[in-house]
Structure 1
Amino acid sequence: MEGKEEDVKLGANKFSERQPIGTAAQDKDYKEPPPAPLFEPGEIKSWSFYRAGIAEFVATFLFLYITILTVMGVKRGATTCATVGIQGIAWAFGGMIFALVYCTAGISGGHINPAVTFGLFLARKLSLTRALFYMIMQCLGAICGAGVVKGFQKGLYETNGGGANVVNPGYTKGSGLGAEIIGTFILVYTVFSATDAKRSARDSHVPILAPLPIGFAVFLVHLATIPITGTGINPARSLGAAVIYNRDHAWDDQWIFWVGPFVGAGLAAIYHQIVIRAIPFKSRS
């Protein structure tokens, strides 16, 4: 009888949540890995370090190439109904993030975004050395990706805004900044949740493909904020388009697409680590 009773305990009933908050929960089902060192000079001598940076460069290059081309295609149409429209742009951004995170997660972690890198750095998931290297490679990749789009269709690129992020007419700078903060919070919070090893250990009965919710979060944020700022939530994406388009109005709002994502990423890191994960500032003796 005991065996039969065990057989019918499926899903959530079999894996009920009985764990206390804080270190006791961590000790029961998962040991928290040590935080990454702030500086790790030794890793710059490793090929895996540079391979990860190259992966971030190529992924961000491809991300800008596909997404900016999609934006140009929508701008070119006489009406949005003749093109993939706003929904298509959102799908291009979300779908590329899904594909690229899937491809690069095992090499670099699949950040493809300085804000994501910054949030993970605050959570001590990677060293400052690696975080800075990733951000540089992401920005270079974005610039190259936007540059290739301009090279393919210079006239269309110049006359249709180059995919640069600006605060659209009818919205204030404050509205644009708020949209970027909240949008990036959603993205980075999803990244933390989808890649949380403790969740995998505790909720192993819930299969999850991490790139899928991350890409879907990008898609949803774009649907909401394209009318406001064109949706940045990625400083490398905004910088790459601004550098290649190089118009005054694109640079006027550039600070919004750095301050907003970094603030949003920082808030997401704090919320996930302190509230959701309930990791105390000091371990219990």
Structure 2
Amino acid sequence: MDAREERAVGTPTAATAKAATRPIAAEFFGTLILVLFGVGSAVLAVKYIGALGIALAFGLTLLALAYGLGPISGSHVNPAVTLGMLLARRIPAHTAIQYWVAQLLGGIVGAALLLLVASQVPGLKIRGEFGSNGYGTRSSVGINIFGAFVAEVLLTFLLVFVCLAVTDKLALDGFDGLSIGLALAVANLVGIPLTGASVNPARSLGPAVFAGPAALSQLWLFLVAPLVGGALAAVVHRMTHPTARSGEDLP
């Protein structure tokens, strides 16, 4: 076998490997962008746009990602959404694990880039806040730990349920991204005064890493509650959409 034949044999394998990494890269960069611009709106522009502007920043960013990355990875950019898709049997377990790793790393890198920008703004307070989520004294309305947990479960339920509902075979094509973006915007409108609106463990992890001990001490809630909400959404979706395409996308 000459060199040209060896290359010809090796090409399909290389192409397959490259294609397999694209969804993972899409989830990494998508989560990075969501954190950079969504959390960035809270860190850099809250005085100018308020809670409504922050909610729209998150929703519009996800809307853009849904259309830009949706054909590549589904544009989950959220471990809770990935969990919902896994429980709905839309993706296999190994894909879910790869997505989770990419999303969490993307959230941290996105927050690091935001820190780089925020550090150039004189007088901007980063330590202790930095767009992180919280309850008690770290909540705008002082919500307690139980209320924060319930709120995050319900808000994430809304987002993941919409994601599952609009992407099954009964849904109208072409409007998936709009519905998902609006769901995230609504979740943020309600959740920002309560907890800062996580609904996404990767969104919470990144800023908390750089915000300091107070944010890290409460981080567990914003990792666990959204996953509970995502799992609940998958269960309810199975009841409300019995003809949804469970398992059709699996190998």
TM class by shorter chain equals: 0.7 to 0.9
Distance change >3 Å, CA 157–CA 170, structure 1 → 2: closer
Superposed structure 1 runs of 4+ greater than 3 Å apart: none
After superposition, what is the alpha-carbon deviation per residue over 1:169-226, rounded to whole angstroms, capped at 9, x for unaligned?
Answer: 52110010001000000001100111011x04xxxxx554100000000000111111
1:51 to 16, 19, 22: 22
SS at match of 2:126: helix
Indicate yes or no: 2:130 matched with 1:162. yes
Corresponding residue for residue 208 of structure 2: 242
* Counterpart in the other structure of 1:124: 89
User: Which of 252, 255, 258 does residue 220 from structure 2 map onto?
Assistant: 255
Q: Taking structure 2 as the reference length, what is the TM-score of the superposition?
A: 0.84
Q: Which entry has the higher C-alpha Rg, 1 or 2?
A: 1
Residues 89-168 of structure 1: pairs in structure 2 closer than 5 A: 89-154=54-119, 156=124, 158-159=126-127, 161-167=129-135, 168=139
Q: Are positions 1:190 and 2:129 aligned together?
A: no
Does residue 1:84 correspond to 2:49, yes or no?
Answer: yes
In the TM superposition, what is the alpha-carbon distance from 1:48 to its structure 2 partner?
A: 2.1
- CA change 1:157–1:134 in 2 (3 A) is farther
1:249 is displaced (CA, Å) by 1.3
The structure 2 residue matched to 1:172, chosen from 137, 140, 144, is 144
Q: Deviation digits for residues 47-79 of structure 1, max 9, x if unmatched? A: 22211000111111111111122111244x3xx
In structure 2, the partner of 1:14 is none
* Structure 1 unaligned spans of 5+: 1-41, 78-82, 201-205
Judged with a 3 Å threshold, the aligned counterparts in structure 2 of structure 1 residues 185 and 47 are, in CA distance, closer, same or farther, namely: same
The equivalent residue for 2:194 is 228
For the Cα contact (< 8 Å) 1:65–1:145, is it kept in 2?
yes
**TM-score normalised to the size of structure 1?**
0.74
Q: Distance in 1 between matches of 2:173 and 2:207?
A: 37
**Percent of counterpart pairs with the same letter?**
35
CA RMSD of aligned residues (A): 1.9
Structure with more of its chain in helix, by fraction: 2
Deviation of 1:46 after TM superposition, in Å, equals: 3.2
Query: Number of aligned pairs?
Result: 224
CA 160–66 in structure 1, closer or farther in 2 if over 3 Å, else same: farther
